[in-house]
Structure 1
C-alpha cells in the first residue's frame, strides 16, 4: 500500500512497482485515514509512507500501526531538513528503511530510482515483523562491485600485530540497523573500545542519526569526518554517500572518508570498512555484522577473521532481516552468533582481551 498525499508520487511509485511481477500494489491512499479504511478490507505486507500529510501525519500513523499490528514500513521522505528529522523519528519508531525524494522533479526522480524503490520494498517484505515494534520496467541493476573498487586486498601490517594497541570495533548493518545500533550503543559505558560503523543510509540522514544517538548514549557518537581519530569511548558513523576506511599511523587509528564507486551497490559499504580493518588492525579488531538485507560485509568479515580478528554475527531471532549475518555465517566468517542484547557485553570483553 502506498500512502502519500501527492497523486504524482502515488502514480509514479505504483507504475514503478507494477513492473516487478513479485510486487502487487493493492491500494494507494492520500492520507492515513483513507489508508486505514482500505486496510480494514485488506492488510498490506509492506507500506510505503510519506511523513507530511493532511489530517494525520505519517509518524502518528506509523506509531499506530506498530502498536496494533507491526508491519514493514518504508518511509518515502523529502531530503528537506524538517523531513529528515521526522524520518529519523520514524526509523526509531519501527520503519525499516528510507526512500528519499526531492521537493521538485519527484516523478522523474522516482523513475530514475526505480531499482532502489523495488529493492527497498522487497527488503521490507522479508523483515521479521516481530522485531519491528520500537524498542526502549525496472531500471537495470547497477553492477555489483567488490571492495577491490575502493581498497586493495591483502593483509597489511595488521596481520602480524600483537595485542598491544587499542581494540577497534567495526560494526556493519543495514535494514533494521538503526534500532539495532541504538540498542547496542546505548548499553555501552563511556569507557569502551573505539568503534567504526557503516549503516546503509542516505546522505544527510547519517549526521542526524549520529546526533540523535549521541544524545542517548554515554559514549561520543558522531558522523565521521576525514582524519577523525578512533579512540576509546567514541563511535564514528560513515557518512551517507561516502566510503569510510580505517587507517593507522604508529599506534594511532583514524578514518579516511573517501568518494568511490558503489560496492555491493552501497556507499558506504561494510565490505570496504571491514577490509580496511583487516589490513590495518588485524587481530586487534573486533568485527560485528548485524541485521540487513543482502551480503555486504560478509566477505570483509571473512578477511577480518582470516587476519586474526574476533567476529560476531547477530542471530536470526533478533534480526529484522537475517540477510547479512546469514551470508557471513555461510562464508565461515563468524566466530560467535549472538542475540542483539548480548552484543554490547561481547564488545566490552573484546576491549579487555
Structure 2
C-alpha cells in the first residue's frame, strides 16, 4: 500500500514526538523527517520531498504563517496547521486557510490529546490528496469598480480550499455588487472570523446572514452555520431565511440547501460551485440550471479538491467551467444580463 510521506515541523521536540507517535499508528502514513525551524523545514522539503507537512505557527526566527506563505509561492504542497493558535474560530486559523493550508488543528492542552488529535491522521491523509498548485498573486483592488446595473442574485458554495478561492472571487466584486449569498463548509466559530476577514479585504459589505435580511446590492451574506442553513425566500421580496434543521447532503450549512431554496427564482440566479470535497451543491446546481439559472464551476486545474464541482458537472449542473481568477468577473457579467422574470 502506498504511504503518504509526512514532514513534521514544530519547535518543540516533545510535540514532534507526540505528533509522530500518533501518525505512525496509521499504516497510510510514513513520517520521513522532523524540523524545528523554518530553515530546517526548507532543507527537509528539498531533501525528503514530503507529500504533506504538519506545520506549527509559533517558531523561532520565522513564523509558521510566513513559512507557509513562502512555501505556497515557491514550492506549493499540502499543509495542515497544528498549533495552539489555530483553535476553532481564531483569526490566525482563517489566515492560514487563506494562505493555502488545507486544515487547521488545535494542539491538545493537558488532558485533551484524544479530543483535539482524534482526526489528525485522517486530516493528514486527506490533505495529502489535495491538488496544490502555484498561487498567482491576487489583485488587491476590485475590478469593474464603475457603477453597474446588476439584475441577478449570486450564490456561491465551497468547501476544502475555498477560503482562498472565495477571497479571489469576491476581490473582483465592486462596492455595488449583486446581492450575494455564500455557503462555506466551516464550523460556526470559523465563519465568524471568516466574515470579519472578508469585510476588511473586499469592497462590498460582508456579514454573517441574519434571518429576514433583505438581499440588497453591495451586500455579501455568509451562512452562519451552527444549527442553521442559509436559504433564499422571495415573498414578499428577496430575503434570507435561516432554516434550523439536520445536515443536508452531509453538511450544515449546506450548499444544496441554499441552491435548492432558490430554484423557484432560477432565472434571476447566477450560481457558482467552488473547490471542495464531496458532492454538496451538485443537486442544487443541476436544478438551478434546469430551471433557467446561469451556473459556473471552478475548473479542475484551479481546484484544491475537484470534488463538489466534478459531481455538479457530472449531474449536468455546470454551464461553464472557469479558472478561479476569472470566476468573479464571469459572475458579474452574468449578473448584469437582463432576465425575462421581474428584475430584483
TMscore range, shorter length: 0.7 to 0.9
Task: Output the CA distance in 2 between the equivalents of 1:342 and 1:40.
Answer: 33
Kindly report which structure 2 residues correspond to 1:198-237, keeping only aligned pairs within 5 A, or say none: 198-237=183-222
Q: Secondary structure at the match of 1:124?
A: helix
Aligned twin of 2:102:
96
TM-score, normalised on structure 1?
A: 0.79
User: For residues 47 and 34 of structure 1, do their structure 2 counterparts lie closer, same or farther at Cα, with a shift above 3 Å needed?
Assistant: same
Structure 1 stretches lacking a partner, 5+ long: 137-164
For residue 287 of structure 1, the aligned residue among 261, 264, 271 is: 271
Task: Output the CA distance in 2 between the equivalents of 1:281 and 1:105.
Answer: 51
Aligned twin of 1:261:
246
Pick which of 224-233 and 211-220 moved more: 224-233
Aligned twin of 2:256:
271
For residue 241 of structure 1, the aligned residue among 215, 226, 231 is: 226
Q: Does 1:305 align with 2:289?
A: yes
Alignment root-mean-square deviation, CA: 2.9
For residue 7 of structure 1, report the CA deviation from its aligned partner: 5.8
Pick which of 57-66 and 179-188 moved more: 57-66
For residue 265 of structure 1, report the CA deviation from its aligned partner: 3.9
Task: Output the CA distance in 1 between the equivalents of 2:86 and 2:55.
Answer: 16
Aligned twin of 1:191:
176
Q: Does 1:108 align with 2:111?
A: no
User: For residues 14 and 264 of structure 1, do their structure 2 counterparts lie closer, same or farther at Cα, with a shift above 3 Å needed?
Assistant: farther
For residue 297 of structure 1, report the CA deviation from its aligned partner: 1.4
**1:293/1:324 contact within 8 Å kept:** yes
Q: What is the aligned length?
A: 321
Kindly report which structure 2 residues correspond to 1:58-69, keeping only aligned pairs within 5 A, or say none: 58-69=64-75
Structure 2 stretches lacking a partner, 5+ long: 1-6, 140-149, 339-344
Q: Secondary structure at the match of 1:286?
A: strand
Q: Deviations over 1:167-209 (max 9, x none)?
A: 2211111222111111111111122221111122233222222
**1:193/1:232 contact within 8 Å kept:** yes
Q: Secondary structure at the match of 2:207?
A: strand
For residue 313 of structure 1, report the CA deviation from its aligned partner: 0.5
Task: Output the CA distance in 2 between the equivalents of 1:50 and 1:205.
Answer: 19
Aligned twin of 1:73:
79
TM-score, normalised on structure 2?
A: 0.81
